[in-house]
Amino acid sequence: MCADLCNELPDDVKRLTTLMSSTNETEDNVSTVLEQYERLGFPPAQLERMIYRYVFFHLPACSAYRFLWTYIPPIIILLGSFGNILAFMVLRHPSTRYVSAFVYLTVRSVVDEVVLTVGLLRRWIDYMINRKLEHSTSVFCKLAQFAGVSSSFLSVWLTVTLTAERALVVSFPLHGTRFISYSRVRKLIIVLSLICILLSLHFFITVDLIPTTTTPSSSTATTDFIHQPYHSLYLEPQDSNTTEPWRNQTQSAITGDVSSVRQEMVYQCNFKPEFASFAWLWTTIDAVVYCYLPFILIFGLNVVIVYHVNAAQKKQHRIRVRHSVIPMQQLSKATGASGDQMNNVRQMTIMLLVVSFAFLVTTVAIVVTKILSQVLDLSGSGRTHERLYFQLADTVAELLMYINHAMNFYLFCATGKRFRSRLWYLLAKCRPTAPNRGTADQQQTARLDPDCHYPTCSNPTDTKNKRTKYIYI
């Protein structure tokens, strides 16, 4: 696609532009240089493409594209991997291991790390070396597509099921234990994983290394649209009355005999020719499963959650006002336990609302770009600039999508009091520094983790009984 114009310039383009810039840039000198290249075997059409490649390389949109792909991915990968690993360690603690919401978040921290590694890290390496790793072997081609798509699907739908569970809890708070259990959550996650795997298994059949004939100046491109003619992607409309002699020759070279253009055979990871119709169908399925449907469901479920939370707060306020004549000490004794439980539910709901709304914010761009890519017609030699700027917008949307897979840990820290307590306990590791501080350390440890016995934390409470009593806050 047009992003190829923004990648590193091929050596033949560098040599041509260097030779042209070393002479006086008059019409005669430029024509002389081009004639010399023609005598060396470069057809006018290929020279035309090389010049346009150089011009587009220095556009502001290309500069922004190169900046984004050079500096932003390593920041996302480092911060995201650090956060996902810490989140997994915190959420796997015995005191939170059987909390329904934390079970989903634990699995998602692992899946998000797979998405960052297989997706963003691979894409960044592809850009830095100006060559797609998936073009190297057939096995890697199939595995990269399978792992990237299946992990992305699973991460998104874990968020959907988590939001649906939270909507169920706030809508029917007295029946949460009836609908939610550890075995049901585990089975649901297994079913989701199997569905995502089944949806992605076709890559082992439909995708392979496809031989493609290309010119040397385009052989370093990393495009996925390998069946598009090179000049239809890159060349601007030509003026038939132009005065440059090499431009007059270009028209006949593009529309006439192209057998003289030097070509070489390369292999690119793409759908097999017999699955060309399925490739178009899969583009629609991928957009619906990963973007459109999850976006609509999470948005609707968040509306339900916000509605019931506001209704519960208003009801609680009316109860307090109605019973305001009751002494505060008696009221606190009567509602102390339920108040703590409601506070835990409210904190958990707020944290999960922030996570789901962050998903909506970071994926709305990719939803819009996918819709526009199916609606807009940017084909044709006169739409190169439009395709270039659309590719820049698509890059921003893609990076926002990967940010969604890297930011959950920081959202947990910002909104989850219980998560922060577990994180602090994990970092402190419950190690006292002096014997005479036993009482204070024991109290601090109990506040951070009531399951941790002072001073070594080596004998936590038995977690076998926790499996029979599932927590769903």
| Structure confidence by residue, pLDDT tens digits, 305-324 | 888 888 877 776 667 666 55
Q: How many CB atoms lie within 10 A of CB 5?
A: 24
Q: What is the pLDDT of residue 177?
A: 63
Given a cut of 60, whether residue 29 has pLDDT beyond it is: no
pTM metric for this prediction: 0.74
Residue 176 lies in a domain: yes
Residue 85 lies in a domain: yes
Q: How many CB atoms lie within 10 A of CB 26?
A: 9
3-class secondary-structure state, position 299: helix
Asked whether 266 and 214 are in contact (CB, 8 A), the reply is yes
- Alpha carbons 273 and 345: distance in angstroms, whole number: 53
- Alpha carbons 120 and 147: distance in angstroms, whole number: 12
Residue 410 lies in a domain: yes
Question: How much is the mean pLDDT over the chain?
Answer: 74
Domain that includes residue 327, residue range: 60-208+274-419
Residue 297 lies in a domain: yes
- Alpha carbons 154 and 405: distance in angstroms, whole number: 12
Q: Which two tokens stand for residue 337?
A: 């336990």
- Alpha carbons 195 and 173: distance in angstroms, whole number: 30
**Residues 155-164: tens digit of each pLDDT:** 999 999 999 9
Q: Which two tokens stand for residue 71?
A: 């500096």
Residue 346 CB contacts under 8 Å (≥ 6 apart), including other chains: 309
Residue 465 lies in a domain: no
Instruction: Assign residue 361 the CATH number of its domain.
Output: 1.20.1070.10
Residue 401 lies in a domain: yes
Q: Which two tokens stand for residue 463?
A: 């977690």
Which residue type is seen at 286? D
- Alpha carbons 301 and 349: distance in angstroms, whole number: 12
- Alpha carbons 151 and 153: distance in angstroms, whole number: 5
**Percent of the chain, pLDDT > 70?**
60
**What are the residues facing 30 on neighbouring strands?**
none
- Alpha carbons 393 and 246: distance in angstroms, whole number: 34
- Alpha carbons 221 and 218: distance in angstroms, whole number: 5
Q: How many CA atoms lie within 13 Å of 180's alpha carbon, on the beta-carbon side?
A: 25
Average pLDDT of the segment spanning 395-424: 89
CA 350 to chain CA centroid, Å, is 23
Residue 18 lies in a domain: no
Backbone angles phi, psi at 269, to 5 degrees: -75, 115
Asked whether 430 and 445 are in contact (CB, 8 A), the reply is yes
- Torsion sign over Cα 392, 135, 9, 381: negative
Asked whether 397 and 366 are in contact (CB, 8 A), the reply is yes
**Residues 357-388: tens digit of each pLDDT:** 999 999 999 888 888 887 887 776 667 778 88
**Residues 161-191: tens digit of each pLDDT:** 999 988 888 888 776 667 777 888 899 999 9
Q: What DSSP designation does 242 have? A: -
List C-alpha distances in Å: 35 to 16, 23, 28, 240, 446: 12, 14, 10, 20, 83
Q: Which two tokens stand for residue 231?
A: 């000049």
Q: What is the pLDDT of residue 59?
A: 80
**Closest alpha carbon to 125 in 139, 140, 111, 110:** 140
Residue 461 CB contacts under 8 Å (≥ 6 apart), including other chains: 94, 451, 453
- The lowest-confidence range among 12-16, 138-142, 240-244, 432-436 is 240-244
**Closest alpha carbon to 176 in 185, 165, 187:** 165
Angle at the Cα of 122 (from 118 to 125), degrees rounded to 5?
A: 160
Residue 233 lies in a domain: no
3-class secondary-structure state, position 270: strand
What is the total count of domains within the chain?
A: 1
Q: Which two tokens stand for residue 421?
A: 């307590």
Q: What is the pLDDT of residue 93?
A: 75
**Closest alpha carbon to 156 in 402, 377, 435:** 402
Average pLDDT of the segment spanning 126-151: 92
Q: What is the pLDDT of residue 375?
A: 81
**Percent of the chain, pLDDT > 90?**
30
Backbone angles phi, psi at 265, to 5 degrees: -95, 125
